[in-house]
Amino acid sequence: RKEVEQDPGPFNVPEGATVAFNCTYSNSASQSFFWYRQDCRKEPKLLMSVYSSGNEDGRFTAQLNRASQYISLLIRDSKLSDSATYLCVLLRNSGNTPLVFGKGTRLSVIA
């Protein structure tokens, strides 16, 4: 089983829709989680850190479920500019790999 797993999509949604992505992780010792956004042929950019109680930033809400070992990202009122690949990332509690990335979920918001 991969350490971080995501549905690769693509998710094709109309403008204004609400869309949610889930990401599962296998290492229960993982301490910190992030969502990064990556536009085509660009570098990943930090979207949100995910804290134990979850957090919200405008139209974006991230939640962590440690019991089931998954994190989620909810995007409300989707905009065309939200079209990108969303990378689920974890920080291991131990070991020598600072960040472990999922393969990403591709989102296309359609007019």
Partner 1 sequence: DAGVTQSPTHLIKTRGQHVTLRCSPISGHKSVSWYQQVLGQGPQFIFQYYEKEERGRGNFPDRFSARQFPNYSSELNVNALLLGDSALYLCASSTVRGIPYEQYFGPGTRLTVT
- Rule CB under 8 A: which residues touch partner 1? 4, 31-34, 41-46, 49, 87, 89, 91, 96-104
| Phi, psi values for residue 80, rounded to 5° | -55, -35
Measure Cα distances from 90 to 11, 76, 108 in Å: 22, 23, 24
CB of 14 to partner 1, least distance (A): 26
- Residue number with CB closer to partner 1 (19 or 64): 64
- Return the structure tokens found at 94: 């131990």
- Residue number with CB closer to partner 1 (5 or 76): 5
Q: Is 6 helix (H, G, I), strand (E, B) or coil?
A: strand
CB of 22 to partner 1, least distance (A): 16
CB of 99 to partner 1, least distance (A): 6
CB of 98 to partner 1, least distance (A): 5
- Residue number with CB closer to partner 1 (21 or 34): 34
| Rounded (5°) CA angle 66-18-42 | 80
Q: Answer yes or no: are the C-beta atoms of 92 and 109 closer than 8 Å.
A: no
